[in-house]
Structure 1
Amino acid sequence: MALAERVTHRASRWRAPVARTPRHALVQRWWERSPDGWSVQDGMADEERWLDVAYSDQTLVTSVGLLHADHATGDERPTGRPTSSSTLPSLNIQMLQHARIGDKDTLGHIGTGPGYGDCLACHRLGDKQVTSMDVDPYLVEAARERLGELGLHPTLETVDATGELPGSFDRIVATVAVRPIPASWLVALNPGGRLVTTIAGTSLLITADKNEDGSASGRVEWDRAGFMHARSGADYPPGLAELLATARDHDGEDITTGRYPVVQVTEAWDLASMLDVTTPGIEHEFEEVDGFRTALMAHADGSWARATAHGTDSPTVHQGGPRRLWDALDAVRDHWLANGELPVRGARVFVKPNGSTYLARGSWSAKL
């Protein structure tokens, strides 16, 4: 009940589902970061801590790369990216609230994970109105078993959600991020239905209602949300570690003095979102040592940048490759200072039947 009080209002229809959902039964083992990499945590080995962690409002990583915590030994230290998690309860509730779910609505949930969001939805709607999908067959089977032990039997399917969905729904809520929005989601959405998702590479939370012509229209909500990218395979493709190493160690083709202080882009959510809309696909690294800040940027097209400075001093900027990534970042910061805000948050959203997604606010517009 304490978790329900923290993440819901007392009048919320989601308060009772949160209070009834035994999160610890769905997440029995998880990963935590340690100095030498990810380390597995076994709830049954320390039941008091297990309950403390399970009923805190935090995300619990359950898979790293190809290794699920359920299958890990105590000495394994995976180094890949997280591939599954139990999303923090407040964010689960936020996504479900944005769907504006009615008592008789059917729900298609994309991103089963450990099944926590599905448990909430089943308690709110009844399990016959809930269908959940994940690309990982183990996650689906584990969720089916654990939900079944709780007396809940929603429809659970192993599917690549970027393709055809198994059924049609009044509401679709995705707890994975996509870009572009798959056309199949609009096909599976019933007329007048509502879609809630996030855009990969950003913290943009989109809600859109289906129109009679098969398109959808809505807005970028003022709330912020971030999820793992939807994937078609067991793991994510390799990142840009080699190019980031180049950015760290080499002189650039262009060496200039930046106009603005070095910033940790990934922690500046609106800035990062606007940059990824205008220049998608950049990977970032940041460190601060003894007051010296270093920001690295890399793109799959071979572009890279490095900015270094002490504190908020003007940075020395090295850039290489076909595009100037730090210049793209500075252009976004120019817009912010000139206009007082960035237009991406609160923008109108238009989704064509083929999934092409457009954002617009005032005189600004962009195609994702």
Structure 2
Amino acid sequence: MPAWWAWSSGHWELRHGPADEEAWLEAAYRDRTLVTRVGTLHADHAKADGGPTGRPASSSTLPGLVVQMYRHARIGDEGTVLDVGTGADYSPGPAGLTETASAADGEDVSTGRHPVIDIEENAWELRSMLEIMAPGIEHDYRENGDTRIALMVHGDGSWVRAEQTGRELPTVHQGGPRRLWDVLDEARDHWLWEGSLPLYGAHVRISPDGTIHLRRGRWKATIA
């Protein structure tokens, strides 16, 4: 993956790996689908000037999806595996919602109760709990001066954009079938009321089909 497209400031920008090897490694090993083609223009054949238009697509498989497929395959020590990469672009789902989440008003606009934070970098425990409650959410976090912006998108079409300036309460825009910020608030409320998240210290049982069952006190969850 020598090049990819990144959504920034309302348009697609070209990212060329060899030009910034540190950013290249970070992008390649992050659990996030990278957009490799927008419209008819593939990042490998693009020039830095001029942003493309059209639907985003990807030939960069989400790392977590690969791990999930291997887990469901239940591969034993004696198994033989052939992993074929076709390189065919596909609709990346959450990545395609980033443009909408970055600018749209959404069907639901409200004032948030909790501050906007970078969940992936500064709240790993909360991020893990959210993955149990709503698997598959992808996150993006940006800062513009004193304003912090958090984006959350999901393959089912749900998205959220939360914006907070200084110490003011954030404005939250949400769209799609689920209200992802409400799910996050539920986890944060539990954290504040109980002093910890139930995921930690939970008893784990794994069924023969690979399903993971978690339980701690009255709380329980299943990872299929």
- Fold-level similarity (TM above 0.5): yes
Q: Is the 8 A contact 1:31 1:39 kept in 2?
A: yes
Identity %: 42
Q: Provide the TM-score with structure 2 as the length reference.
A: 0.66
The alignment of Structure 1 onto Structure 2 pairs a total of residues equal to 183
Post-superposition offset of 1:183: 5.6
Which residue is 1:258 aligned to? 112
Q: Is the 8 A contact 1:180 1:355 kept in 2?
A: no
Q: Deviations over 1:151-189 (max 9, x none)?
A: xxxxxxxxxxx9xxxxxxxxxxxxx7337932624xx26
From 74, 81, 101, the counterpart of 1:184? 74
Q: Is the 8 A contact 1:302 1:321 kept in 2?
A: yes
Which residue is 1:342 aligned to? 197
Q: Secondary structure at the match of 2:189?
A: helix
Residue correspondence of structure 1 range 151-162 to structure 2 within 5 A:
none
Which residue is 1:37 aligned to? 16
Gaps of 5+ in 1: 1-29, 43-52, 68-72, 85-161, 163-175, 191-230
Structure 1 pair 302–189 and aligned structure 2 pair: CA distance change class (3 A): same
Which residue is 2:127 aligned to? 272
Partners of 1:318 and 1:60 lie apart in 2 by 27
Post-superposition offset of 1:242: 2.9
Partners of 1:264 and 1:37 lie apart in 2 by 25
Partners of 2:84 and 2:200 lie apart in 1 by 28
Structure 1 pair 336–180 and aligned structure 2 pair: CA distance change class (3 A): farther
Partners of 2:150 and 2:209 lie apart in 1 by 37
Post-superposition offset of 1:232: 6.7
Q: Kindly name which structure, 1 or 2, has the bigger radius of gyration based on alpha carbons.
A: 1
Q: Secondary structure at the match of 1:350?
A: strand
Which residue is 1:168 aligned to? none
Which residue is 2:219 aligned to? 364
Q: Deviations over 1:33-61 (max 9, x none)?
A: 9x94311799xxxxxxxxxx9xxxx9896
Partners of 2:170 and 2:27 lie apart in 1 by 37
Q: Is the 8 A contact 1:264 1:295 kept in 2?
A: yes
Q: Secondary structure at the match of 1:349?
A: strand
Structure 1 pair 180–252 and aligned structure 2 pair: CA distance change class (3 A): farther
Gaps of 5+ in 2: 5-13, 37-43, 49-57
Structure 1 pair 271–243 and aligned structure 2 pair: CA distance change class (3 A): same
One-letter amino acid of the counterpart of residue 340, structure 1: G
Bigger share in strand: 1
RMSD: 4.0
